[in-house]
Structure 1
Amino acid sequence: MTTALRPAVFSDVEGTLISISFPRTYFEQARLMGLVPPLNIIQTGFLNLLSKPFSPKSRVGGILRYLAIMTAMRNLPMSMNPQVMDRVNPLLHQALKPKTLARIREYEGQGYPVILVSAALQQGVEMFAATLGWRGEGTRPILDGDRFTGRAEKPLTGAEKVVRVRQVAAEMGLDLARSVGFGDTVSDTAFLSILGAAYVVHPDPDLRAIAAEKGWTILEGGG
């Protein structure tokens, strides 16, 4: 007998579920623990300065922020990830967006598994998601032994989220046509578009227009 596929919730993290930057919070805590090389701090500061004129939701701003994240994390020992996340998770919980969280919990109460999909590094996303009872999917880093090289397989954004969502659906036996997505940027529309329903959180004008055209629900007031 064929097992029926079940629906799930797929949610972006930064800007959708939390109001602060996951990678920046991770970097700051790792820096306070003395894990970040001084050169990383200088280079990351320069990249952040370059990105200031651009919206975080713009393509250029997104690329510069991604480069800053990769530079900030370069040569960090991944074996220290649990200790860093012990400091990061409470800060992320304080920054949870109540409207988004409440809506996701409603679906979870109906039996929907919840999967977070984020451009942050896989190890961090997994541990944050676990604190909420969920699954986490992030950017998979390339390591040199225990240390992060500053490079990744592919950043989990845009079309790559579509690929990962489909992989997770195949693995878990999920029905994407009945599943629900949450996002907050135009790049999230790629994975939201393959799901049965979608919510966009505090959208900019471009995303608001797309949501109106597609009939997606808008969560106002920052989620």
Structure 2
Amino acid sequence: MASTSPRSAAFFDVDGTVINVTSMFRFLEYRLAAEGHPPSVYRHERQRLKAMTAAGVPRAETNRAYFASYAGADARQVSRLAEDWFRAELASGAFFNEHVVGALRRHQREGDLVVLVSGSFRAPLAPIARHLDADIVLCSDPETVDGRYTGQVERPMIGEAKAEAVRALTARRALDLSASTAYGDHVSDLPLLRMTGHAVVVGDDPVMREQARHQGWPLWPRTSVDALAR
């Protein structure tokens, strides 16, 4: 029997790339409000995490710290809230980066495997993936015990973890990385972008723009702030 040719894939970071917002924080704000917390609770949590970033704490550790606020939360209830959150985001407009979604649709028409690779977690990513008909989601998976989050995550899907997950997927699915494309907006996406034969930088991060110029990668815009406000 003839061997099957390796399949090409398209790997998409999500926050700031496929969507114009950060799903983890937008969903956290929505969840806390839905659970009856005053806005100050979200502001305090957001400032705590921003302070870690400003102090130079690695992004993977900030990602771990994010999940502390989920300790004890019912995972099924979080998933239900995530569905409601996604519908609200869609209704508000300018949630998706249409440049990137257009590319995703083109990859689908060409038969590429479409993979979302995100430091976010499955609850808010699931409705996004379903809406886009993505084939696979590689993401941070916070720990659960007896259906409730513990507040811990063993391996955030950040930086080299993205590259390692894609390597493992490539071995399982016999993918051709040289014919594949990766899309990202942040320096933590560079290990992923460097793995594929083609890469696209989204947004205006100065380090990423310099990498794009050096590597000859295309530069694509985010949706404008004005469009998001509308």
Could you tell me the TM-score, scaled by structure 2's length?
Answer: 0.83
Any idea what SS the aligned residue of 2:119 has?
strand
Q: What are the superposed Cα offsets for residues 103-133 of structure 1, whole Å, 9 maximum, x if unpaired? A: 2212221111211011111343234212211
Change (3 A) 1:219 1:168: same
Q: How does 1:71-90 map to 2 (within 5 A)?
A: 71-90=68-87
- Say whether the 8 Å CA contact 1:201–1:222 is kept in structure 2: no
Any idea what SS the aligned residue of 1:20 has?
coil
Any idea what SS the aligned residue of 2:210 has?
helix
What is the CA–CA distance in structure 1 between the aligned matches of 2:6 and 2:116, rounded to whole Å? 19
Q: What are the superposed Cα offsets for residues 187-222 of structure 1, whole Å, 9 maximum, x if unpaired? A: 101011010100000132211111111111110354
Q: How does 1:1-223 map to 2 (within 5 A)?
A: 1-34=2-35, 42=41, 45-52=43-50, 60=57, 62=59, 65-67=62-64, 69-93=66-90, 94=93, 95-134=95-134, 135-222=136-223
- Structure 2: which 5+ residue stretches go unaligned? 225-230
Residue 64 of structure 1 and its aligned partner are, at CA, apart by 7.2
Q: What are the superposed Cα offsets for residues 77-111 of structure 1, whole Å, 9 maximum, x if unpaired? A: 11224311221222454410111111221222111
Residue 149 of structure 1 and its aligned partner are, at CA, apart by 1.0
Change (3 A) 1:54 1:31: closer
Moved more, 143-152 or 63-72: 63-72
Change (3 A) 1:169 1:130: farther
Change (3 A) 1:137 1:59: farther
Change (3 A) 1:107 1:98: same
Q: What are the superposed Cα offsets for residues 34-62 of structure 1, whole Å, 9 maximum, x if unpaired? A: 287x9xx74x6434224557879x95484
What is the CA–CA distance in structure 1 between the aligned matches of 2:131 and 2:113, rounded to whole Å? 14
Any idea what SS the aligned residue of 1:18 has?
coil
Q: Which runs of 4 or more aligned residues in structure 1 lie more than 6 Å from their structure 2 counterparts after TM superposition?
A: 53-56
Change (3 A) 1:166 1:123: farther
Any idea what SS the aligned residue of 1:120 has?
strand
What is the CA–CA distance in structure 2 between the aligned matches of 1:108 and 1:92, rounded to whole Å? 24
Change (3 A) 1:154 1:54: closer
The RMSD of aligned alpha carbons is 2.7
Count of equivalent residues: 218
Moved more, 16-25 or 122-131: 122-131
Could you tell me the TM-score, scaled by structure 1's length?
Answer: 0.85
Any idea what SS the aligned residue of 1:160 has?
helix
In structure 1, what is the equivalent of residue 227 of structure 2? Answer: none
Any idea what SS the aligned residue of 1:87 has?
helix
Residue 17 of structure 1 and its aligned partner are, at CA, apart by 1.0
